[in-house]
Structure 1
Amino acid sequence: MLLKSLLLLGCVALIHGAALQEQEEAAETIVNILNEEQMAKFLAENPDAIKLNREVSIQGRADYTVYKLTWTLGARKSGDTNVYNGYSDYIWFEQASNPQIIVTYPKEGTGKVVTHVSIETKQSSTSGEAYVSAGGIGQRTIQFYVRGYNTIFYAWDINIYGQ
C-alpha cells in the first residue's frame, strides 16, 4: 500500500495539474509512465490478463490532431447506474511518453455487480491498449490497465456501470 501511495504521489508530481474526478463509490486510479521492460513485467505477472479491442477516431484541431481511442466491455443493463467516473484534463509531456492508467473498482471491499465499462483516451498517437487483469463483467470487482504509446499529450474518461 505504501508503494502504491508513493507511486501515486510521484505521478501526481509528474502530471502537473491533471484533474482526477471520481464518484462517491470511488475506484482507485493510478497514473504512471512505463517503459517497455516494465510493461513486459506487468504482462508476465498477469498472464491471464484479457486484452480489449479498441476503436480509433480522429478529432481534428487547427494546431494538432487528437486521436480518440475507445474500449468497451459488457453492455448497459436496465437498472444499472454509473458507479465510477474518472477523467482528466489533458496532460502534456515534454517528450513522447507511454502513460498508463490503473483502475481498481471498488477501492476497498466489494461493489455493485459490474455490467459495462467504457474507456476513452485522447492522445497524439493511435497506439494504445487496455487489459482487464482481475474481476470483470458480472463480478463485484474489476481492475484494468490502459496504456498509450508515444504520445505527447493524454487525457481519459472512464465509466464503470453496475447494479
Structure 2
Amino acid sequence: MGRLGAFTVCLILAIAMNSSEFSAESLDSNIVQDLSTLWNEDKAVVALYPLIKEKLSDNESTKLQINYRLGNRIAGDRLVATAAGSNSWTSAQDIKLTLNYPKTGIGSIVTYLQVIVEQSTNIGRGYVTSGGIGQRQITVVIEGNQTLYFKYNAEIYGY
C-alpha cells in the first residue's frame, strides 16, 4: 500500500476513534401535526422498517405508555444519543415525530434504539426510514394518532 493509501487509512481510523469518544448527544427531532401533507411531500420514504411496539401500561388512566424498540444491547455499547420532548393540544391530533442520528458528521455504529412514548391513545406506529442497526446513521419516525398529548424519551446505543 502506498503512502497515500496508508495516510487515508490512518485518517479514517482517527476520525472513527475520535467520534466514538463523544458523550451522548441530543438527537435532531421534529414533531409534525399534519400527516397527510407530510406523506404526500415525502417521496423518499420507499420502504418502512417497523419498530417493535410494546404497550407498557394497561390501566384505566388516559395516559398510555408505548415502548418502540429495535436491535439489542451488546457488550461494549454505550448511550450515544438522547432526545425528549412533549406537547399537548385541546383537540385530538395526528402527529409525527422524526428522530435523526447523528445530527451532523459520522455517528457511532447503532446497536439499539428505544423510544418510550406517552399519549392519550394507543393508535400509532414507529418505523425506520433510513439507516438502521449496524449502521452509523438512523432516521426513525414515530406516529401518534388522535392524541391529546405526546411525550417521548428516546435513547440510541452504539459503539
Tell me the TM-score normalized by structure 1: 0.76
> 2:26 is matched with which residue?
26
- In 1, the alpha carbon distance for the partners of 2:109 and 2:117 equals 24
The number of residue pairs the alignment matches comes to 137
**1:5-84 alignment runs, 5 A limit:** 24-39=24-39, 41-42=41-42, 44-58=43-57, 60=59, 64-84=61-81
How far apart, in 2, do the equivalents of 1:52 and 1:39 lie? 19
Describe the SS at the equivalent of 2:88: strand
Cα distance in structure 2, aligned partners of 1:53 and 1:80: 20
Higher Cα Rg: structure 1 or 2? 2
TM-score when scaled to structure 2? 0.78
Q: Is the 8 A contact 1:91 1:154 kept in 2?
A: yes
**In structure 1, C-alpha distance between the alignment counterparts of 2:105 and 2:35, rounded to whole Å:** 31
8 Å CA contact 2:30, 2:98 repeated in 1: yes
Instruction: Please give the root-mean-square deviation of Cα atoms over the aligned residues, in Å.
Output: 1.9
1:154 to 1:106, Cα distance in 2 relative to 1, 3 A: same
Q: Unaligned 5+ residue runs, structure 2? A: 1-22
Partner of 1:38, secondary structure, is helix
1:46 aligned partner, one-letter code: V
What are structure 1's unaligned runs of at least 5 residues?
A: 1-22
